[in-house]
Amino acid sequence: MSAEKQQPDVAVAFNDVAKSFGSLDVFCGLTLSLPKDQTTAIVGTSGSGKTTLLQMINGLEKPDTGGVEVFGQQVPTQGLEVFRRGIGYAVQGAGLFPHLTAQQNVTLVAQLEGWPEPRMQARFDELLRAVGLAADVATRLPRQLSGGQQQRLGICRALMLQPPILLLDEPFSAVDPITRLGLYESFEQVRETTPATTVLVTHDLREAKRLAEFMVILDAGEVVQSGAPAEVLAHPASPYAERLIESQLS
C-alpha cells in the first residue's frame, strides 16, 4: 500500500463519513485522521461508535456516505478478503475457533496464503516468544487455555501475516487486572519487535494512556477531542471528556 496520496504520516482517514443502523445514526459527517506507525486509542463510553469506527477500517461495516482510506487507498468493495489479510484484527475474548488448536488458529490464514511449513512454524514460534507463551500451548485447544493465554493467541493470530496495521477491539478488557498487566507488557514487547500502526478501541483511559501515542475521544459518533494522551488528559476540552476522565482517573 502506498502513502503517496495523502500526508505520509496518515494511516487511516475518515472523510465525512455517515453511518446509521436503521433509525439509529451512529456517525453524521465524521472526519478523522489516524497517525501512521503509532498506536491510536479510540476512547468513549458504550454506544459512542468506537467499534463501528474500527470495523469500517477493515470493511466489516460500510459507511453509508463518505469514504474511509487506509494508507491512501479507499477500502474496496470487491476483493475484501485480500484487503483484510493486510489488516490484523483481535477482539475481546479472543474469538479463537474452538475446534482448532492454538497453532492451527494462529497459522490458519498463513496456511490459506500458501506459506511453506518451515516459514509458518518459524513465525509462530517467534510470535509465541514475543507474547510470552510457552511452546507447549501449540497443540492445545482454546478451552484448555486460560483467558490470558487465549487473548495472547488472538493477538498472535492478528500479527501472523505481519500486517502493517493492527485493529484491536478491547482485547484487554475481559481478563483480570494482573493478567491484563501481563498482556500490556507482552503487547509492548511485540510492538518493539514488529512495529505497526495500531488502532485500539477501549473504554479504559489508563490503558489508553499507557499504550497509545495518540488518543481520540468519541461521544455519540463525534470526535470531542484528540491528541497525545497526556495532553488530552491534562486539558479536557469538553464536559464529556472531563466527566470521562473524572470517572476513571480521579
- Tell me how far apart the alpha carbons of residues 134 and 125 are, in angstroms, rounded to a whole number: 9
At residue 233, φ and ψ (nearest 5 deg) are: -70, -35
Q: Where does the chain have alpha helices with state H? A: 50-57, 80-84, 102-112, 117-131, 147-159, 177-193, 205-211, 229-234, 239-249
Q: Which is nearer to another protein, 98 or 177 (CB)?
A: 98
Between residues 3 and 109, which has the closer beta carbon with respect to another protein?
109
CB 73 → another protein: shortest distance, Å? 16
With respect to another protein, which residue has the nearer C-beta, 143 or 234? 143
Q: With respect to another protein, which residue has the nearer C-beta, 149 or 226?
A: 149
Nearest approach, Cβ of residue 99 and another protein (Å): 3
- Which residue lies nearer to another protein by CB, 101 or 202? 101
Scanning 38-146, the segments in alpha helix (DSSP H) are 50-57, 80-84, 102-112, 117-131
Q: What is the distance between the alpha carbons of residues 32 and 227, in angstroms, rounded to a whole number? A: 12
Least distance in angstroms from the C-beta of 120 to another protein: 15
Yes or no: say if 152 and 132 are a contact pair by the CB < 8 Å rule.
Answer: yes
CB 68 within 8 A of CB 13: yes
Q: Least CB distance from residue 238 to another protein, whole Å?
A: 32
Whether the Cβ atoms of residue 237 and residue 225 lie closer than 8 Å to each other? yes
* Side-chain-facing half-sphere of 160: CA atoms under 13 Å: 27
Query: Which residue, 6 or 55, has its beta carbon nearer to another protein?
Result: 55
Residue ranges that bind another protein, judged by CB under 8 A: 58, 60, 80-85, 87, 89, 91, 93, 95, 97-100, 108-109, 112, 141, 143, 157, 167
Q: At closest approach, how far in Å is the CB of 39 from another protein?
A: 19
Instruction: Give the Cα separation of 201 and 91 in Å (integer).
Output: 10
State the cell numbers at 170: 478491547
Least gap, CB of 117 to another protein (angstroms) = 18
